[in-house]
Structure 1
């Protein structure tokens, strides 16, 4: 099965996590930026998951799941150890929903990749479920090559790009300027500020 990698904003999407164990907890941790839209459906929760739910004020429906819990969901995470429940959710999920089937990846239509995040920089790594261990190994290899200053540096690149777009210069010159600060990275915060001030004076 072919999967198209992309980044999505789930800010206004309904997210339903079905399950109350360790796997559900891992998924919740990944989805916490959208905590206001999350509902967990499970008769019980592990102690650590219960603490997360209480800490972040996550909605918890304390019962076995049925169709009403997920029929309007945009993203459904199937994370139980009950084959009957898992099968029921997969078979009755809305056709428009994204489904992450943690028990059997091919039963769903999305995977949660291993990710690296440094501020605005995001890198997703997936082996299509073939080897999560290899995905983590690749992650560690990439992280070792990313300078510690990258988060601040990418914020600088963002500011520089917004500034250069406003300059009254040709498009090729704009592209050349942006290329230069990538080919010759400016990591020092002092040098970044000097670079920004230089071009602000040209506006």
Structure 2
């Protein structure tokens, strides 16, 4: 994977396939659900957190081993199994026309998920390019004090003011 271009992507309503049913897959599913992606989990078994999401109707589950046809409608693909060979197979099957994240081998994908902090319209993200996800999380956690929940309303106010100003110019 070369140098990465930071990009915020609207995944609302987009099909996301997460291959894997463990803790790492659960974290990826949670973040995808938070932004409105339509998540399908591919795994013969599920972790407790994933089971809760499926039972709540938040995600779909295909109780099976990975096969390339499960990616047919996918816009985003996450390979999050505990098997490096399966994750590599997922990356190959996904091709280069989808966003592909491979949790244990980032160089096989074309994107990865940064550590982020969201306060309403404010999103702060930090990435180490896969070198140290733990360091990215520590940096994100350090931002929590400086960018507390008051930023949600502050940005809403700025947004309303900007819309007013733009309305006057048109």
What TM-score do the two structures reach when normalised by structure 1? 0.77
Task: Quote how far apart the aligned CAs of 1:102 are.
Answer: 0.6
* Runs of 4+ displaced beyond 3 Å: 33-36
Q: Work out which structure has the larger RCO, using CA pairs closer than 8 Å and 6 or more positions apart in sequence.
A: 2
The match for 1:156 is: 157
- The answer as to whether partners of 1:39 and 1:60 remain within 8 angstroms in 2 is yes
Q: Deviations over 1:69-99 (max 9, x none)?
A: 0133211100101233222212222320111
The match for 2:87 is: 86
Task: Quote how far apart the aligned CAs of 1:137 are.
Answer: 2.2
Q: CA, structure 1 residues 20+129, in 2 after alignment: closer, same or farther (shift >3 Å)?
A: same
Alignment of 1:1-203 (within 5 A): 1-33=2-34, 37-167=38-168
- Structure of larger gyration radius: 1
Task: Quote how far apart the aligned CAs of 1:34 are.
Answer: 5.1
CA distance in 1, matches of 2:54, 2:35: 13
Unaligned runs of 5+ in 1: 169-203
Give the count of matched residue pairs.
169
Higher-strand-fraction structure: 2
What TM-score do the two structures reach when normalised by structure 2? 0.91
- The answer as to whether partners of 1:36 and 1:58 remain within 8 angstroms in 2 is no
CA distance in 2, matches of 1:40, 1:34: 16
Higher-helix-fraction structure: 1
